[in-house]
């Protein structure tokens, strides 16, 4: 069973629909017990960092998420919340990844919205995916490149489009909205052994 | 490598069916929206827009059921619009699976709506659609499906909605829409120079050259069209390989 973390962020339905298309059953839940029992956990979302962190903290979900041991995938805001700190309303985040989240400089078009590919990418998540394959991005804040980066993309500057530490994975783009190549990434994640 | 220019078919919806108004008046039937959408995804469309064209005029409420169906079936982003006039309308469509919504007349009536929706759901969720027409030599904002001119200057309005929190502008030139004579290059260029949010050019696509022109001569990050795609006049794979040959980055 794949658990999808239920919280006050948008775009959750799209992830469930993508899992349905793959033929994988999912459960939308904020119950700590169900999250701990799941084979995989997906932490999706678009939205604003401080209100999302507040929501998680009020329910004790911040501690639950950090303590999970199964393969865990954060998407977009989900990945940003797994970082140390976000400059979006000066928010202390989960601190799973050491990197910080900053706003794109305004000398380009912001948000970064549309299809973009990779400067670099590696690891099981990207198996069978070329650096020239494009994924769909929508974000005004980016994760800086750091020790946990497993994929990087160029927009105004190079940023982390993928992160990994132990069982925790994050992607900045939306695999659930990135056509067949996005589906491949989700399938790669679902194949990762605990 | 960089951000790719987006090719965006627009499906005008009336009573659950796709239609395309030529100059917003004459209407021809081009089929079932979900089937058409799936075909576009296979052909390499980068995004889709579904506009409920009857909504504003007849005060019909949005088409959440169709949106729910679309979000189950297709795996690229899509925007829905038509008659969205409140945060509640927006919430229904978000819950139904829309990636973005577009507001048009309602934003003109109540600019605070732009702020309310973007604060509640994020700027990335909100496209402000602007129908631009020429009145006495000036580009003015039109509402109600292009039937009614307002006093608003197009560029000033675009800047204002950007400040209020719009995530993107869909700029349709009514002077060009349906003519198949090319996009409104000059107006689009003025707008992309003025704004920092993405602008999608719409209205006037009739040939592949029109797409390369709008991408080479303006900073538009996407181009939207309807009939040239619906009736197979410009197959999307052909358009994309043409743009690649013109050194325009596409997916």
Give domain status of residue B250, yes or no: no
Q: Give the residues across from B14 on adjacent strands.
A: B17
Contact call for residues A192 and A69 (beta carbons, < 8 A): no
Strand pairing class (A40-43; A72-75) = parallel
- Among B77, B121, B122, the residue with its CB nearest the CB of A177 is B77
Residues 6+ apart with CB under 8 A from A33: none
CA–CA separation, A173 and A175 (whole Å):
6
Instruction: Choose among B4, B97, B121: nearest Cβ to A114.
Output: B4
Give the tokens for residue B205: 């696509």
Determine the 3-state secondary structure of B132 from DSSP.
strand
- Cβ contacts (< 8 Å) between A115 and chain B: which residues? 3-4, 6, 46, 251
CATH code of residue B115: 3.20.20.70
Q: Which CATH number fits domain A2-191: 2.40.40.20, 3.40.50.880, 3.20.20.70, 3.40.50.300?
A: 3.40.50.880
Does B161 map to a domain? yes
CA B160 – CA B71 distance, rounded (Å): 31
**Chain A residues with CB-CB distance to B122 below 8 A:** 10, 46-48
CA dihedral (B111, A76, A50, A7) positive or negative = positive
Q: Report the candidate in B116, B190, B102 with the shortest Cα–Cα distance to residue B154.
A: B190
Largest CA distance in chain B: 46
Nearest to A118 by CA among A164, A161, A74: A161
Chain A residues with CB under 8 Å of B123 CB are 111, 140
**Subunit contact A11:B75, Cβ cutoff 8 A:** no
Chain B residues inside the 8 Å CB shell of A10: 94, 121-122, 125
How far is B49 from B152, CA to CA, in rounded Å?
A: 25
Residue in A closest to B119 by C-alpha? A48
Is A13 an 8 Å CB contact of chain B?
Answer: yes
Indicate whether B82 belongs to any domain.
yes
Identify which of B149, B147, B151, B154 has the alpha carbon closest to the alpha carbon of residue B128: B154
pLDDT tens digits, B71-106: 999 999 999 998 899 999 999 888 888 999 999 999
Q: Does B165 touch chain A (CB under 8 A)?
A: no
| C-beta neighbour count of A59 within 10 angstroms | 14
Q: What residue of A is the nearest CA neighbor of B199?
A: A109
Pairing relationship of beta strands B138-143 and B126-135 according to DSSP bridges: antiparallel
The ranges assigned to domains in chain A are 2-191
Q: Tell me the CB-side half-sphere exposure of residue B96, using CA atoms within 13 A.
A: 21
Residue A189, classed as helix, strand or coil, is: helix
| Residues A152/A158, Cβ–Cβ less than 8 Å | yes
Q: Cβ separation of A115 and B96 shorter than 8 Å?
A: no
When CB atoms are compared, the residue of A48, A134, A136 closest to B77 is A136
**What integer pLDDT is reported at residue B96 of this predicted model?**
87
Q: For residue B27, is pLDDT > 50?
A: no
Report in angstroms the alpha-carbon separations of B120 from A46, A88, B30, B207.
Answer: 11, 15, 35, 40
Instruction: Tell me which residue of A170, A5, A153, A165 sits closest to A69, measured CA to CA.
Output: A165
Contact A181/B at CB under 8 A: no
Cβ distance B97 to A18 less than 8 Å, yes or no, reads no
Q: Choose among A18, A106, A134: nearest Cβ to B4.
A: A134
DSSP strand pairing (A2-5 vs A100-103): unpaired
Contact B150, B172 (CB under 8 A): no
Contact yes or no for B4 and A183 at CB 8 A: no
Cβ distance of A183 and B75 shorter than 8 Å:
yes
Number of domains within chain B = 1
Is omega for the bond preceding A103 within 30 degrees of 0, making it cis? no
- Over residues B153-173, the pLDDT tens digits come to 999 999 999 999 999 999 999
Pairing of strands B6-14, B17-22: antiparallel
User: Is B96 in Cβ contact with A114 (below 8 Å)?
Assistant: no
| Residue B251 is assigned to a structural domain of this protein | no
On whether the CB atoms of residues A11 and A44 are closer than 8 A, the answer is yes
Q: How far is CA A23 from CA A17, A20, A187, B96, B227, in A?
A: 10, 5, 10, 20, 35
A85, with CB counted inside 10 A (0-12, 13-18, 19+), is middle
Whether the model clears a pTM of 0.90, i.e. scores above it, the answer is yes
The one-digit pLDDT tens for each residue of chain A (194 residues) are 999 999 887 778 899 999 999 999 999 999 999 999 999 999 998 888 999 999 999 999 999 999 999 999 999 999 999 999 999 999 999 999 999 999 999 889 999 999 999 999 999 999 999 999 999 999 999 999 999 999 999 999 999 999 999 999 999 999 999 999 999 999 999 999 98
Dihedral through CA A62, CA A66, CA A69, CA A75, nearest 10? 80
Complex ipTM: 0.93
Domain assignment of residue B101, given as a range: 6-245
The size of the A-B interface in CB pairs under 8 A is 97
Contacts of A171 (CB under 8 A, 6+ apart): A73, A74, A75, A76, A79, A125, A135, A151, A161, A162, A163, A185
Label residue B39 by pLDDT band (50, 70, 90): confident
Supply the residues of A annotated as catalytic.
76, 174, 176
Cα distance from B73 to chain A (closest Cα, Å)?
8
Tens-digit pLDDT profile for residues B42-74:
999 999 999 887 655 444 555 788 899 999 999
DSSP character at residue A46? B
């Amino acid at each position: 069973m794949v658990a999808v973390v239920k919280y006050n962020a948008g775009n959750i339905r799209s992830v469930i629909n993508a899992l349905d298309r793959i033929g994988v059953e999912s459960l939308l839940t904020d119950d700590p017990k169900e999250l701990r029992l799941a084979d995989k956990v997906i932490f999706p979302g678009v939205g604003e960092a401080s209100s999302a962190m507040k929501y998680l903290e009020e329910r004790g979900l911040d501690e639950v998420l950090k303590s999970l041991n199964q393969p865990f995938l954060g998407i977009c805001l989900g990945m940003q919340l797994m970082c140390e700190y976000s400059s979006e309303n000066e928010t202390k985040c989960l601190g799973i990844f050491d990197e910080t989240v900053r706003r794109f400089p305004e000398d380009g078009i912001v948000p970064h919205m549309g299809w973009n590919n990779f400067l670099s990418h590696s690891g099981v998540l990207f198996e069978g995916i070329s650096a020239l394959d494009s994924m769909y991005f929508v974000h005004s804040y980016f994760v800086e490149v750091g020790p946990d980066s497993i994929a990087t993309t160029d927009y105004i500057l190079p940023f982390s489009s993928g992160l990994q530490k132990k069982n925790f994975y994050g992607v900045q783009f939306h695999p659930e909205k990135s056509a067949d190549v996005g589906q491949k990434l989700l399938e790669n994640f679902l194949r990762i052994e605990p | 490598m960089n951000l790719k220019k987006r090719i965006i078919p627009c499906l005008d919806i009336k009573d659950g069916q796709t239609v395309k108004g030529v100059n917003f008046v004459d209407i021809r039937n081009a089929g079932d929206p979900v089937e058409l959408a799936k075909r576009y995804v296979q052909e390499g469309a980068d995004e889709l827009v579904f506009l409920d064209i009857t909504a504003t005029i007849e005060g019909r409420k949005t088409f959440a059921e169709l949106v729910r169906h679309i979000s189950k079936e297709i795996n690229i982003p899509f925007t829905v619009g038509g008659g969205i006039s409140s945060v509640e309308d927006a919430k229904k469509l978000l819950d139904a699976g829309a990636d973005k919504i577009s507001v048009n007349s309602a934003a003109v009536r109540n600019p605070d709506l732009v702020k309310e929706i973007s604060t509640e759901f994020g700027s990335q969720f909100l496209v402000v659609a602007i129908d631009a027409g020429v009145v006495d030599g000036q580009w003015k904002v039109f509402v109600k499906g292009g039937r009614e001119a307002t006093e608003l200057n197009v560029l000033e309005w675009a800047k204002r909605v950007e400040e209020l929190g719009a995530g993107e502008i869909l700029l349709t030139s009514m002077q060009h829409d349906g003519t198949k004579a090319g996009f409104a290059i000059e107006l689009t260029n003025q707008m992309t120079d003025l704004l920092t949010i993405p602008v999608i050019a719409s209205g006037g696509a009739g040939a592949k050259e029109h797409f390369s022109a709008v991408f080479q001569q303006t900073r538009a990050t996407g181009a939207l069209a309807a009939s040239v795609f619906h009736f197979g006049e410009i197959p999307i794979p052909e358009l994309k390989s043409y743009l690649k040959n013109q050194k325009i980055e596409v997916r």
